[in-house]
Structure 1
Amino acid sequence: MRDGDWYPALTPELEAMRRTARIACHAHRMMAPDARGAMAPELAALFARVGRDCFIEAPFHCSYGCHIELGCGVYLNAGCVILDSARVAIGDRTMLGPGVQIYCADHHRDATERAKGIERAWSVEIAADVWIGGGAILLPGVRVGAGAIVGAGAVVTRDVAAGARVMGNPARPV
């Protein structure tokens, strides 16, 4: 899984990890707004790294959580989804708009293998000071450079250079 090789995603061990993530996301979602602070303690404890002054609006969903690294001052607006079957690193002061989705899983092309839950995972890295507009989707393996802007609704299929602005489906520089 960590090496980007094909693996069976339907094992009891991985299902237990996903269940732990669902419980943490539920705890975050159910906290009273005034009590929430940055995020539910269960969610913060799940992540690989949480920098200071991060804030995640509810609802939020992740697959495992343990592969997510947040820099300082990261903001995730309501409805963000991170399917972190591989490392997802989000740099300092980066902002994700509502409904942003980050996918690491790549399912097998063969229908028989796909039915068995065979997949592979590629990390997604977002550098510092990035702004990702609402409803954008980042596909497995992409890197977004420092200071880049991803337009609302963009589907990012390739790396985005530092300082670039991209939009559309597939996302292209503007």
Structure 2
Amino acid sequence: MKYLVAGLGNIGPEYAFTRHNVGFMVLDRLAAEHGFTFSFEKLAFVAEWKYKGRQIYFIKPTTFMNLSGKALRYYMDQFKVTAENCLVVVDELQLPYGTTRIKPKGSHGGHNGLKNIEELLATSDYPRLRFGIGNDFPRGRQIDFVLKAFSKEEMIELPIFLDRAGDMVLSFCTLGIQSTMNNYNQ
């Protein structure tokens, strides 16, 4: 069985610890914990890892958030992975900070990265793990909020939430979407 996990974010040090980059952070945490490394390839940083008999490919698109679908589509074709075996890890304004939800499909909910993926895959039927970043911002200041670093207080708890999201990624790749939803959705 082959899986493709795409953590969404923006490249560059100025975005490293911003809320919008939580998809990158989840994959970086998994890589650090399990000892696999990313290399710069076409359209993304890419890593391969075998886990419990599964071949898992990880990508962190270098296309910037709004063009994430370009990298996902390319690597789905490259590694011959179907949409149901792809998992997109993404930040979510509509969930409280640290809350995680995994779903087999859904709308883009206004998220530009998911919107681009939906356009390029011509479907919204692909699994996604949404990582809650909260929505504590004044009206019209959404972009500033998602591109802002986590607060000091949030950074204290962030590793716990990243580990939980990483566990959900591995559960998805080994037990499937339904079991992962049953075991982890809060």
Is the TM-score greater than 0.5?
A: no
| Greater per-residue strand proportion | 1
| Greater per-residue helix proportion | 2
TM-score by length of 2: 0.29
Give 1 or 2 for the bigger CA radius of gyration.
1
Instruction: Flag the structure with more relative contact order, 1 or 2, with Cα contacts below 8 A and sequence separation at least 6.
Output: 2
